[in-house]
Structure 1
Amino acid sequence: MKIPSFLVLSVLAAFSQAGAATFTVDKTPAGGAIVKLDGEFLTELVVDQANKTYLWPIIGTSGVTMTRAYPMKKVDGEQHDHPHHRGLCFGHESIAGYDTWAEAATFPKGAKNSERLDHLGAIKLREITEMKGGETATITTISDYLDAAGKKTSEEVRKYTFAVKGANRVIDVDIDLIATEADIVVDDKKDAGLSIRVPTEMAVDRGKEAGGKGTGKIINSEGVTDEAAWGKRATWVDYHGTVGGKAVGVAMLNHPASFRHPTPWHVRTYGLFTANPFGLSQLKVQPETGAMTLKKGEKITLRHRFVFHDGDEKAGKIAEAYADYAQEK
Structure 2
Amino acid sequence: MNRRPLLLSTFAALAFAAGPARAQGLPELPAAKPVPVVQVLPLPDDQTSFTVGGREVARYWFAPRQERPFVYPIIGASGRSLTRMGHPRDPVGHGHHNSFWVAHQSVDGENYWEDPGAPRIVPRKILRYDDGDAEAAITSDNDWVGADGRVHMTDRRRMTVRPMKDGEWLLTLDLQFRAPDTPVNPGGSVVLGDTAFGPVAVRMAKTIGVADGGGRLRNSEGNEDEQGPNGCFRKPARWVDYSGPIVEGVAEGITLLDHPANPSHPSPFHVRRDGWMGAALTFGGARTIEPGKPLLLRYALYVHRGVPTPQTIDAVWTEFAKGRVEPLPAK
- TM class, shorter-length: 0.7 to 0.9
Is 1:243 equivalent to 2:259 in the alignment?
no
Check whether the contact 2:156–2:177 (CA below 8 A) recurs between aligned residues. yes
Q: Normalising to structure 2: TM-score of the pair?
A: 0.80
Aligned 8 A contact 1:131 1:140 in 2: yes
Q: 1 CA distance for matches of 2:225 and 2:11?
A: 45
In 2: Cα distance, 1:279 partner to 1:14 partner: 43
- Tell me the matched-pair count: 282
User: In the aligned structure 2, how far is the partner of 1:94 from the partner of 1:315?
Assistant: 33
Please tell me whether the aligned partners of residues 35 and 41 of structure 1 are also in contact (alpha carbons under 8 angstroms): yes
TM-score, reference length from structure 1: 0.80
Q: What are the ranges of 5 or more consecutive residues in structure 1 without an aligned counterpart? A: 1-12, 72-76, 105-116, 207-213, 281-289
Match of 2:78 in 1: 62
Partner amino acid, structure 1, of 2:70: Y
For 1:86, the equivalent position in structure 2 comes to: 98
| 2:158 paired with 1:146 | no
Q: Distance in 1 between matches of 2:169 and 2:78?
A: 10
Deviates more, 1:314-323 or 1:33-42: 314-323
Q: Within 2, Cα distance between the matches of 1:94 and 1:302? A: 17
TM-fit CA distance, 1:78: 6.6
What's the RMSD between the two structures over aligned residues?
A: 2.1
The letter of the residue matching 2:224 is T
- 2:14 aligns with 17
Question: Which deviations, in whole Å up to 9, do the C-alpha atoms of 1:35-73 show, x marking residues without a partner?
Answer: 2221122221111252110001111122121111448xx
Correspondence 1:43 to 2:58: yes
Shift of 1:293: 2.4
Do 1:95 and 1:185's aligned partners in 2 also have CA atoms closer than 8 Å?
yes
Decide whether the 8 Å contact of 2:220 with 2:310 is kept in 1.
Answer: no
What is the CA-CA distance between 1:315 and the residue it aligns to? 8.4
Partner Cα distance (1:26, 1:185) in 2: 35
> What is the distance in 1 between the residues matched to 2:199 and 2:289?
16
Distance 1:51 1:79 in 2: 18
Separation of aligned partners in 2, 1:88 and 1:14: 30
Distance 1:320 1:247 in 2: 20
**Aligned residue number for residue 125 of structure 1:** 123
Distance 1:277 1:36, change over 3 A: same
Structure 2 runs not aligned, ≥5 long: 1-9, 18-35, 325-331
Q: Identity, % of aligned pairs? A: 27
Q: Does 1:171 align with 2:171?
A: yes
Deviations 1:86-115 (A, max 9, x none): 0110111111222221111xxxxxxxxxxx
Structure 2 CA distance for aligned equivalents of residues 123 and 194 of structure 1: 13
**CA 14–257 in structure 1, closer or farther in 2 if over 3 Å, else same:** closer
1:16 Cα deviation (Å)? 6.5
Of stretches 26-35 and 242-251 in structure 1, the one that deviates more from structure 2 is: 26-35
| Separation in structure 1 between the aligned mates of residue 174 and residue 194 of structure 2, nearest angstrom | 21
Q: Which amino acid aligns with 1:194?
A: V
Residue identity in the other structure for 1:304: Y
Structure 2 counterpart of 1:160: 159
Give the alignment of 1:247-262 within 5 angstroms. Answer: 247-262=251-266
CA–CA distance in structure 1, aligned partners of residues 149 and 15 of structure 2: 49
**Structure 1 pair 202/297, CA: closer, same or farther in 2 (3 Å)?**
same
CA distance in 2, matches of 1:298, 1:92: 19
